[in-house]
Amino acid sequence: MIPIAGISMLERVWRIAKATQGCTRVVISTEDERVAAHARGFGAEAVLTSQECQNGTERTFETLRAANIEERAIINFQGDAVLTPPWILSVMVAEFAQAPAFDIVTPAVRLTPAMLEQLRLHKRTSPSSGTTVTFDLNRNALYFSKQLIPFVRNPGFADIYRHIGIYGYTQDSLSRYVALAPTPLEQTEGLEQLRALENGMRIRIVVVDYRGRTHASVDAPEDIGVVEDLIAREGELC
């Protein structure tokens, strides 16, 4: 609920979701009545879920019943993603319209040499920051890692892609995922999407373009100033 350049973080994220092409409904899901009341104050639909949810995926699953959601495809969009362009979500929505042969959809961005070097430098001080992904010729994920993958022994054949942690599910795949127990690779890397891969679920990667915008979220209070500076330089998304 903290204001960012005069608009609360939650309202900013809601506006992004509302601007997504193909989106039929936006629901704010929270365990805190104060957050729900704030959301309703700017015209959003909000529902309360239990305090026992361990992560956003479990909360998304509870929201299906709490909000009586009938749509087949659901995107879990985190409330701190204030600089995610709406066209990123639109690409995810469009993937579901292709008679999908997948369980989960998630975006990734190709790293330019400059972006890759920046990530390498950042990982020297924060090794667990940033996740990369490899995928097959049909854009189905092979593996996600906090390491830079693939290892480039022979340059010029494959790019390195940074994973963007937004997930879309069918109702069936979401129900299946939340019923699964944590898995060895998931617990080793600390990446919940590996649970799906380790159980044979298919994760479709959509390659997205930020069109010159800077990717950032608010993970700590000190990030607010950084985000406000980016908004001042690059303009409002919505």
DSSP string of 131-182, one letter each residue: -EEEE-TTSBEEEEESS-SS--SSTTS---EEEP--EEEEHHHHHHHHTSPP
Q: Could you tell me the two tokens for 222?
A: 């000190």
Check: CB of residue 73 under 8 Å from CB of residue 170: yes
**Does any domain span residue 42?**
no
**Does any domain span residue 117?**
yes
Report, as an integer, the average pLDDT of 81-99. Answer: 93
Q: Could you tell me the two tokens for 53?
A: 């949810």
Report the number of distinct structural domains present in the chain.
1
Report, as an integer, the average pLDDT of 214-221. Answer: 84
**Does any domain span residue 89?**
yes
Least confident of 49-53, 128-132, 141-145, 189-193: 49-53
Report, as an integer, the average pLDDT of 160-180. Answer: 95
**Does any domain span residue 2?**
no
Share of the chain above pLDDT 90, in %: 85
**Does any domain span residue 62?**
no
On the CB side of 2, CA atoms within 13 Å amount to 14
What is the domain range of residue 202?
72-234
Check: CB of residue 115 under 8 Å from CB of residue 214: no
**Does any domain span residue 187?**
yes
pLDDT score of 126: 86
Report, as an integer, the average pLDDT of 2-13. Answer: 96
Give the three-state DSSP class for 162.
Answer: strand
pLDDT score of 154: 97
pLDDT score of 129: 85
Check: CB of residue 67 under 8 Å from CB of residue 47: yes
Share of the chain above pLDDT 70, in %: 99
**Does any domain span residue 24?**
no
Supply the CATH number for residue 230's domain. Answer: 3.90.550.10
Higher-scoring residue by pLDDT: 216, 184: 184
On the CB side of 7, CA atoms within 13 Å amount to 15
23: left (phi over 0), alpha (psi -120 to 50) or beta: beta
Report, as an integer, the average pLDDT of 143-166. Answer: 96
Instruction: Report the run of H or E that residue 31 belongs to, with start and end.
Output: none
Reported confidence tier of residue 51, pLDDT bands at 50, 70, 90:
confident
pLDDT score of 28: 97
Check: CB of residue 69 under 8 Å from CB of residue 85: no
Report, as an integer, the average pLDDT of 218-230. Answer: 90
Q: Which residues share a beta bridge with 173?
A: none
Q: Which of 176, 175, 149 shows the shortest CA–CA distance to 160?
A: 149
pLDDT score of 99: 67
Reported confidence tier of residue 122, pLDDT bands at 50, 70, 90:
confident
pLDDT score of 217: 81
Q: Model pTM?
A: 0.92
**Does any domain span residue 114?**
yes
Higher-scoring residue by pLDDT: 99, 57: 57
Report, as an integer, the average pLDDT of 229-233. Answer: 96
CA–CA gap between residue 116 and residue 114 (Å, rounded)? 5
